[in-house]
Amino acid sequence: MSLSLFLSQHGSRMTAQWTLSLLLSACLFRASCSAPAIPRPPRSLHPVRGFNNSGGSLSVDLPMALRVFSVDYHHVQAPFEIVLWIMLASLAKLGFHWSGRLPAVVPESCLLIMVGLLVGGVIYGVRHSAPPTLSADAFFLFLLPPIVLDAGYFLPGRLFFENLGTILWYAVVGTLWNVLGIGLSLYSLCLLAPGSLGDISLLHCLLFGSLIAAVDPVAVLSVFQEMHVNEQLRILVFGESLLNDAVTVVLYKLFESFLRMPSVSGLDVLLGGCRVLVVGMGGLFVGLFFGLIAALTSRFTSGAQVIAPLFVFLYSYLSYLTSEMLHLSGIMAIVTCAVTMKQYVEANVSERSNTSIQYFLKMWSSVSETLIFIFLGVSTIQDVHMWSWPFVCSTLLLCLVWRATGVLLLTAVVNKLRRNTVTFRDQFIIAYGGLRGAICFSLVFLIDDFPKKRLFITTTIVVILFTVFVQGMTIKPLVELLDVKKEKGALPSVSEEIHSRLIDHLLAGIEDVVGYWGQHYWKDRFDQFNVKYLRRILIREDHQACSSILRVYQELERQEQRGDEDVPPPISVLIKGTQTAAYSRHTLHQDAGTRKPLHRHQSLEERSTINTQVGLFSSKMSTKH
């Protein structure tokens, strides 16, 4: 009696568990593959006795035969395919850099999209169905954060904050100019063609304008890093593209909310403007909070330096996810977090940990960027295209016209307030460098279904391919033709950096005397607050420099060690005429044969001896004065 009761209870329990596992397996497999899922019984490594309750009777099966060799692809399908995609992306990048003179003519992003088109065509020809597309969640939650984190962590702080007003002017006002201009112009076109485009409303046009105005920092970085333009032009283009995404995503979500409302009133528009400010400022404060927490945590990692780099990635990604959870700007959060924690983390962790952080960030962002461009090509091969010559051609023309007019008008205003004005040649490159990419491609698939969604998808793909291929391939010859100012070929020395900081202090003093609170005044006040409070709290006592000269030396030493592309490595005793090696954003160091560093890769003990000697020298100098 007890045996039959035991069998009946456990047999029913196993039946329920097996049924639940089949349902879960079917759901997961259907989500990852377009083919229908085929249920399979649970895997067993050893011959066991199972229960069979077919026909309503409970019986004991005979032991299954032992298999010598078997294939279970479904068990490893998801990680196996992910590894294959990453392997394909890495091999494509490797082949690009081994292709001789091709990188000098064709940007890397164009070649990767071509590889994606080829792979997508093969998949479509074999399966006779559309290849897999890059989902918006995969892009925004996994592929975009590493690229933005890498850009924020290696952001040239001095250049960025000196041009912050101009960058915000381009990113905020310029984005609103492009969104409203493109959206209203397309709506006018729809009114002129009521037969084919009459079912596109004003909010749909504004929604499409918000996503098509998104300048992709991935595409911009990929092209501009290969041209070595001057530092001011590069930081304006990169900073505008980075913050432009935050603004466009916020506007996209705002117009999407308007579309789902039965009616939109003036109060809703006012609240929408307030929401834009809350989303942007909220992301900034979230990033600032996590950046300070990351810096404080790194202070206590002296006994566990192995896991010190992990906190940089965890806190940065946590700031992004927290902002997305609170419907704030994740891009603003992760950039602010990276900029906030960088100087304190570098001072707290060891040289080996700093090297690990730098190499992992470069590797992670490079793989993500490569996957994005390949999936852009793969996802182009689709069955959902809808073509309209007036809409596609008008969108392409409007993107060029509204961006060009916006840059000219906004620069005319901002040049009246700048000492170093933006030249007409730089304005042309800024307008021409508005490349579109995965940001708008991912956003267009998030639009709720309506009759012209396929037309929006097709138009977005055409704009992306045109900007990346035509503008991306011709911008480098245009830079040479217009003779745009390039970055300096010679590396500054330590004395030049010290004199530059001395001039900053003098300008801050002059502004204080005349009662003008300019950027040098506020920069000097922040430096005093940083040294007096923040550095004492966030940096370990044994790593705090006793003088400003030693801090300058340590900072420049770290820049020289990583071969920072944004700030040339200043710790170099240079001979006149020495040229800087071309920097690749996929490597950390320049060619060692083209520079003469102050220390020639000494051991850790030798470097600490140098630091001690510099500290003694600076203390003697301060004692004399």
DSSP string for residues in 376-404: HHHHHS-S-----HHHHHHHHHHHHHHHH
Give me the pLDDT at residue 437, please.
87
Helices 202-212 + 174-192 axis angle, to 10: 140
Which of 110-114, 202-206, 408-412, 583-587 has the least mean pLDDT?
583-587
Which of 21-35, 350-364, 424-438 has the least mean pLDDT?
21-35
Res 10 pLDDT > 90: no
Confidence of residue 548 (pLDDT cuts 50, 70, 90): low
**Which residue's structure tokens are 């001095």?**
158
DSSP string for residues in 89-156: HHHHHHHHHTSTTHHHHS-HHHHHHHHHHHHHHHHHHHHSSPPP---HHHIIIIIHHHHHHHHHHT--
Q: Using CA atoms, how far apart are residues 122 and 128, in angstroms rounded to an integer?
A: 10
Q: Is 65 strand, coil or helix? A: coil
Give me the pLDDT at residue 24, please.
37
Give me the pLDDT at residue 133, please.
80
Give me the pLDDT at residue 563, please.
55
Confidence of residue 555 (pLDDT cuts 50, 70, 90): low
Q: Using CA atoms, how far apart are residues 119 and 506, in angstroms rounded to an integer?
A: 59
Res 15 pLDDT > 50: no
Res 545 pLDDT > 70: no
Give me the pLDDT at residue 606, please.
46
Which of 407, 88, 406, 435 has the alpha carbon at shortest distance from 227?
435
229 forms beta bridges with 486
Distances from the Cα of 374 to the Cαs of 89, 351, 371, 435, in angstroms? 7, 35, 5, 16
Mean pLDDT of 423-429: 92
pLDDT cut 90: percent of the chain above it = 41
428 compared with 231, residue with greater pLDDT: 428
Give me the pLDDT at residue 62, please.
57
H helix runs in 515-603, sequence order: 519-529, 535-538, 548-562
Mean residue pLDDT of the chain comes to: 79
Mean pLDDT of 97-126: 86
Which of 346, 283, 280, 270 has the alpha carbon at shortest distance from 312?
346
SS3 assignment for 288-309: HHHHHHHHHHHCCCCCCHHHHH
Res 17 pLDDT > 80: no
Mean pLDDT of 110-132: 89
Res 376 pLDDT > 60: yes
Confidence of residue 513 (pLDDT cuts 50, 70, 90): confident
Mean pLDDT of 117-136: 87
Res 304 pLDDT > 60: yes
Give me the pLDDT at residue 65, please.
77
Give me the pLDDT at residue 587, please.
46
Res 144 pLDDT > 50: yes
Give me the pLDDT at residue 254, please.
93
Q: Using CA atoms, how far apart are residues 328 and 286, in angstroms rounded to an integer?
A: 9
DSSP single-letter state for residue 530? I
Which of 27-31, 308-312, 354-358, 514-518 has the least mean pLDDT?
27-31
Res 406 pLDDT > 70: yes
Q: Using CA atoms, how far apart are residues 130 and 625, in angstroms rounded to an integer?
A: 74
CA 176 to chain centroid:
22
**Which residue's structure tokens are 């409302």?**
261
Please indicate, yes or no, whether the overall pTM of this predicted structure exceeds 0.75. yes
Give me the pLDDT at residue 556, please.
65
Q: Is 488 strand, coil or helix? A: coil
Give me the pLDDT at residue 102, please.
77
Confidence of residue 199 (pLDDT cuts 50, 70, 90): confident
Q: Using CA atoms, how far apart are residues 533 and 313, in angstroms rounded to an integer?
A: 25
Give me the pLDDT at residue 192, please.
92
Instruction: Please check whether residue 49 is in contact with residue 63, taking contact to mean a CB–CB distance below 8 angstroms.
Output: yes
Which of 545, 607, 544 has the alpha carbon at shortest distance from 571?
607
Res 559 pLDDT > 70: no
Q: What are phi and psi of 108, to 5 degrees?
A: -60, -35
Confidence of residue 589 (pLDDT cuts 50, 70, 90): very low
Give me the pLDDT at residue 171, please.
93
Confidence of residue 30 (pLDDT cuts 50, 70, 90): very low
81 compared with 492, residue with greater pLDDT: 81
